[in-house]
Amino acid sequence: SRSYFYHKNPEILSIYPQYGFTAGGTPILVELDAPVYGSVVYCRFQFVSDYEDFSIIEGKLVSSKLVECLSPEATEGNHTAQISISDNLSDFSTTSDFIYIPTPSIHSFYPSSGPVHGGTLISIEGTSFTLETFNDLEQSVKCRFGESPSSIVNAQVISDEVIQCVT
């Protein structure tokens, strides 16, 4: 005789972070209320502005109730995706919103050199430096000079097109 095992579809309790850049690649931790039973887990990103536009990617099972998903690139005009989880590609969990924000880009910076001991004010010009909807993110804007962790300094957001850092 064969057995059939029924299990409840999990519900999403939380996701972290709740937003990431349109370029994709944001690791998202998804906390579930019930375990996922398969050895493979999938993350579906259903874009709110066009429900026919979605991506399904393989997630990483961190624990039976915690899944890591890597956000896909957002298509043009899509700013919110509903994340859901599945272990069989047929039955999906409840959804939680993931918000895409514009990916900052750097066009130029000046000056291009300064003293070895640091202390030089660097102005960086680009786009999408301010995140008016996400003021808390502005507190985490950083500049990195070199590869070591000690080369990371806080940035001051001047405008959407300019940030400044001291080396």
pLDDT digits (tens, 9 = 90+) for 68-104: 999 999 876 668 999 999 998 888 999 999 999 888 8
The pLDDT tens digits of the residues spanning 11-66 come to: 999 999 998 888 999 999 999 999 888 789 999 999 887 777 789 999 999 998 99
**The 3-state secondary structure of 147-161, one letter per residue:** CCHHHEEECEECCCC
pTM: 0.76
Please check whether residue 13 is in contact with residue 32, taking contact to mean a CB–CB distance below 8 angstroms: yes
Q: Using an 8 Å Cβ cutoff, are 154 and 142 in contact?
A: yes
Helix, coil or strand: residue 115: coil
Nearest to 12, CA basis, from 110, 115, 82 = 82
Q: Which residues pair with 110 in a beta bridge?
A: 123
The Cα–Cα gap between 156 and 164 comes to 5
Of 17, 34, 32, nearest in space to 70 by CA: 17
Give the pLDDT score at 1. Answer: 72
Across 118-136, b (16+ Cβ under 10 Å) vs e yields eeeebebeeeebbbeeeee
| pLDDT number for residue 166 | 92
